[in-house]
Structures are given as C-alpha cells and as structure tokens.
A and B are shown apart, each in its own frame.
Chain A
Amino acid sequence: MTVAAAASARASRTRLRSLLGEHPVGYLFVAPFVLFLVGIYAYPFFYAIYMSFFDYFFSAPGAEVVRPFVGLGNYARVLQDPLFHIAIRNVVIFLVINVPLTVAISMVLATALNAAIPLRAFFRAAYYIPYITASVAAVGIWLWLFSGFGLVDKILGPLAPNPSFLINGLLAMPIIALYVTWKGLGFYILVYLAALQTIPKELYEASKVDGASPIQSFFAVTVPGLRPATLLVVITAVITGANFFTEPYLLTGGGGPDNQSVSPVFLIYRFGIEQNHPGYAAAIGLLLAVGVLIISGINRFVLERP
C-alpha cells in the first residue's frame, strides 16, 4: 500500500468515525427503541404538523383526492372557534382545581401513609384502587353518585343544585376535575411515598430537637424535601390534565351540558375522527401541545428555583 493510499484509508476511517462515533455498534443497540420512537411518536407528530397546513382528510389508499394547502388557515379558524375557547377555558378551570388539589392531598396522604398508622397497607391499596380501575367503571360509579337521580342529590335533598351536578354549566367542570383528582391520587401518593424515603431522618430529628411541632416539621422539612417530586407531580398532572377526554366523553354525555365541558382532546376526537377533518384537529392538537409546553416550562422555572 502506498503512503497516499494508506492516508486515504485513514481519512475515510476518520470520516466514518466522526460520523458514527467511537462505538458504532451502539447504534445497533439503540436501533429498536429509535425505530419505536420514530414510528410511534416522531412520525405521527411531524405528520400532524404537515396535516395542520392542509384541508386534510383521510382517504382510501390509491384514491385520487384533493387536499388543498391552507397555510395557517386551520390555526386561524381554531383560534376563532368559540368551542375551542370554551375548551381552553375548561382546561384552565380543570388545572386550577385539579393540580393544587392533587399536590396537596397526595402529599398529605403520602406523609400520613408513611407514618406508622394502623391499617397502613390497607389504606395504601385503597387509595391506589381508583387509579387502576377502568375509567368506564369508575365513571359509572360517579354517574350513580352525581346524576339528577343519584345518591348525592338524594342526600342533599332541597340543597341539591338545580340543574343537578352533571348538567349544570357551572358545576360540570369542577366535578370532572374532582373526579380526575380522586382517580389519579393513588399514583401521585406513590410518587410522594417514594420521595419521602429520600428525606434524611436526621432533619426530622433536628427539627424535633429545635422544638418544632409535627405540622411545623411538615412545612419546614417535608415540603422542601419533596420539591423534586412536586415538580414531577405538577408537570405530570398538567400534561395528563390538559389532555382529559374520557370524562367529558362519558361523565357529561359528550361535553355537556350544552358543550360546557368539552376539552381540546374531545374536540380533536370530534373533528378528526367523527367528522374527518384531521387537519383542523391537528391544529388544535399542536396548539394544545404548545400551551402545555409553556405551562410546564413555567412550572419548572417556578418550582426549580432555590
């Protein structure tokens, strides 16, 4: 081999290495997950962006159809759609009720379940059961409780709201937020329980030595110690909360009363699947994703500050 040829081979190896890195076999190991990620998340995401710029509709393979380019037209229509405004308002109502309640209740309950209380195992399981129960079954119970002929109305008697909870424009969304809070508590309690194990016991001992009451040590030791977990809980609750769908679909009979409990995801279903306007639905989805990203960014900024 000539010097020039050897230099050329070296250069080509270097180029290959610079392209593929020191350990190209690593690509082989990550390939299955990358394919999964690309196929299940990235491709649909980018395709949704593409669809949102067209008057898109689903068609048969090989069918000759015209899907005009509409630019930002779908976004403009969504932003002017009164139903979308209601849906966004509902997300705000939902998050304002659901997120603080989720954080507060699951933190307090996790702290209680972390202490040596009687029937601890039973309570831990009990709080987790709604989380693993199928939504349809859980919604059935809430319908039985909160419908006009339901148990809660019967107990309240003349004090029951009129119209009753699920067909009351003012109460439908709070009921949905409470339902989701109740259903998701088990998961968040588990997150906090795990986080509680990481708080050094010495901190509690020190606060006790300093004369702190249990409530004072909860606020001085537990709450700050759980801050990373709280960040996770808040971001997870915001993301799952902003995507609520089952509840308006099943609990309030399709976003009722009179569309007062529709959510963005419910509208995506209605426009994209039922009415075959996936371009419009994709625009809603992307606006929602941007909104959730912004809220999550703000949460992170606020909660991660020392």
Chain B
Amino acid sequence: MMSSRHALLAVGVVLSLGLAACGGSSLASTGSAKGAVKIWYSNNAEEVKWGDAVVAAWNSSHSSEQVTAEQIPAGKSSEEVIGAAITAGTTPCLIFNTAPAAVSQFQKQGGLVSLSSFSDGNSFIDGRTGNRAAQYKSPDGSYYQMPWKSNPVMIFYNKDIFTKAGIDATNPPLKTYAEFLSTAQAVVSKGGAKAAIWPSPTAEFYQPWFDYYPLFIAQTKGKQLVEKGEPQFNSPDGLAVANFWKQLYTKSLVPKEGAQGDAFATGQSAMAIVGPWAIPVYGGKVKWGVAPVPTKDGMDASAIHTFSDEKSIGMYSSCKNRGTAWDFLKFAVSKESDGKLLDLTGQMPMRNDLASAYPDYFSAHPDYKLFADQAGRSVEVPNVPNSVEMWQDFRAAYSKSVIFGNQSIDEAFKGAADQIKTLVKS
C-alpha cells in the first residue's frame, strides 16, 4: 500500500504538472509582420488542385514570404480538428475551410484574428461580397472570417425516375408544397424510388442545413433562424415548413433512417438537396435536373433565397506573420484566384459580381447558371454565441416533432425557441 509520504510526493508531481500546464505563452500580435506562413485547405481533390495552384502562383513571386499548404488533418469534422488545434496552439495562419457556424466558438476560444483589425479589412470584404457580407460579421461588429465560397442548395432530381413516374422531367411540378408532395408520391409509387428525397434524419447539429433550413429561408424570403436575438422559426412560415416535412415523413416518402451509401447516386432516392458540387459528382451517374427549393404557395425562381452552405477563410491567432497572411488571403480571393476556384470546383466565390465577372465560364457551363443566380440570394447561419448548441437544440426539437412525431410541432418549436433565445444572449 502507498504510504502517506509517497502519496504526498505523487500529488506534488501531479500538481506541479498541473501548474505547468496552466501557464502558456502569450503570442505577440503581429498585424503587419511578414514572412513564411502556413495554410490548411480542404482535402477534396478539386480544392487541393486549386490550393496547390494558388500557392504556387504566390510563391513564384514572393520568395521571402513563402506559403506552405497542407490538407486539413483528418477528423470527424473540420470544426473539431480546428477547435483542437486552437487549444493546442497548432493552427496555421489561414484555414480555407472555416464553417461560419463554428466562428463564434473559435472566437470565444481566442483562436481567431479580427480581419477588421487590418486597415483595409472591412472595405475589402464589403467590396468583394457586398450586402451579403453583413451576415458574416460577429456580434461585436467585426469580421473574424472572410466569406469565401458558397454552395447554394437546390433540389436535384433524377430525370429517369421522374419520367418513369409520368412526371415532366424538364419542368417538374416542385414549386409549391402541394406540387412537391404529389410529385413525391408519384416517384415513390410509380417511379420505383425507395424515397422521394432522403435527407439524413440523424441528430447532428448541422443536419437542419440540408432539410429544414433551406426551405425556411425560402419561405421567409431570406430570414435567418435567429435575427437580432429572436428565434424566427416559431412563426407561421417556420411552422409551415416543419409541417411540410412532417407530411413527407408521415406518408413514408422520406425514410426515418439514414441511407446506406449515396441514396441519390444509387437511385434509391428520386431527389436530393445539394449544391453545385453535385454536378461533377452525379454528372456521370444520374441524368439529373435542378429546381429551386419549394415554398408553400410557390415563388418565382428569381425570388427564392436558399441556404449558402458557405465556407469561410479564418486567420488564426497562432499566426505570427499576419501581414503576409492577410496579403495572401487577399491574393487567394482575387478575381483571378476566384475564377480558378470556380473553374476547378464549380463552387461559387462569394463575390458580388459573380455572374458578370466570369461570363465565359457561365456561357460554357450553363448548368451552373441557376446556382450562380441562387448564390446571389444565399443566406448564412446566424453568427451568434453558442451557435452549435443552438443548432443542436433546434435539431432535437425537429427530430422529436417532425421526424419521429413524438411531440406536436407547435409545442416543440416553442420550447426550442425559448431555449435558443436564452442561449444566443449568453
């Protein structure tokens, strides 16, 4: 048995380790320092290609400010990887895969540099992104993220299944909830699809972005889930969207469990909610068409807002050469670099002048025109404190009432709205 003296020694070691860990080096804020910087970018093949090209172009003319690029380390999600890296102080200068929903958390951790602290920070961001940039401001009025590229979500549909179900595959009736429901019924009963549409029914906080939220944004003509600290979903429009989804679940047109594999690519599902990234992914596998997300009574496509599925660029506080990092960031979102991004990935740079800046691209790739049009009316997740927790609470209420029908929607949404109102104020 350990004697009390020995136990005391052990506790001493533990405490000294603890005290050592409580310390920490304070990183100097070096807003204009120049030198080598490191960046992380996403690990999908197209973005890697873009990243390598942009870094090579920069390095060829900045021998004393070389940029080293790495793919973001593997993890369950980029947000978890970045959160851990912030804690460990191992973040690179820039991460080209920063989710807006995680920005408030990273900011609270002291992990992000305010881009507004650069003399041309605000004017550069506002000039490039226009009015939409305001959605990316933090509650303190500063930008801690550069809005980079969006994947405005729309409804992809399988033309073969639609034709088999006797539905016009060129101009399918998907505008109103009533049309969507009757089309959904037809593709399941006559088109041979297991599901009309198959959004993931799982509990992760981000799942509402691909079922409820795009339709909510469309129905409310561009509102965010929470505005000025007030939840917006417990409203007639918000409840109408929830009731629409509930009907799809109740009529077994949407499965309550996750698909095995890609349901749309394998023809199990007749429709999917996706962004323009889906064009190269499904292009060779499915004869697809695209339509805006439905609204209760139908709206003209040119008036429909949708979820942006945007990724931002964050500058992280572990960065020493912030002057170079800021210059490289501006280089990476220049008209030329954005054009390369569009060309290589099909994702929409967050530019105000998207369609007019790249007319050749859009005339050569007409499939992307509708997405580019939607990109101009894309809406972001609200930049509020406890954002992840807020979405998790919303998801819980949605799952309980809409997917599994264990509570009335009115009751669940009211409860979630009360909870969220408190959360986003703390």
Contacts and interface: CB of A to CB of B under 8 A. Distances in A.
A65 interface: yes
Contacts, number: 129
B119 interface: no
B258 A253 contact: yes
B110 A59 contact: yes
A244 B75 CA distance: 20
Interface string A18-46: 01000000000000001000110011001
Contacts of B17: 38-39, 43
Contacts of A58: 83-84, 86-87, 109
A254 B203 contact: yes
A280 B185 CA distance: 45
Interface string B1-45: 000010000100110011001001111000000000000000000
Contacts of B317: 60, 63
A163 B249 CA distance: 12
B323 interface: no
Which 5 interchain pairs have the tightest Cβ spacing?
A63-B110, A253-B202, A254-B203, A62-B26, A61-B24
Contacts of A61: 24-25, 27, 87-89, 318
A276 B105 contact: yes
A253 B202 CA distance: 5
B29 to A, nearest CB: 10
Given A47-B18, A167-B256, A60 B111 contact: yes
Interface of A is mostly: loop
A62 B194 contact: no
Contacts of A277: 389
B257 A167 contact: yes
Q: Interface residue tally of chain B, by bracket?
A: 35 or more
A275 interface: yes
A147 B257 contact: yes
Interface of B: 5, 10, 13-14, 17-18, 21, 24-27, 79-80, 83-84, 86-89, 91, 105, 108-111, 194, 200-205, 255-258, 260, 317-318, 386, 388-389, 392, 396, 399-400, 403-404, 406
A213 B194 CA distance: 55
Nearest to B26: A62
A161 to B, nearest CB: 13
A26 B204 CA distance: 51
A59 B108 CA distance: 8
Interface string A272-286: 011111000000000
20 contacts: A59-B87, A59-B109, A61-B25, A61-B27, A62-B89, A143-B260, A148-B255, A149-B260, A167-B201, A253-B258, A255-B203, A256-B201, A257-B256, A258-B404, A259-B400, A273-B83, A274-B80, A275-B389, A275-B392, A277-B389
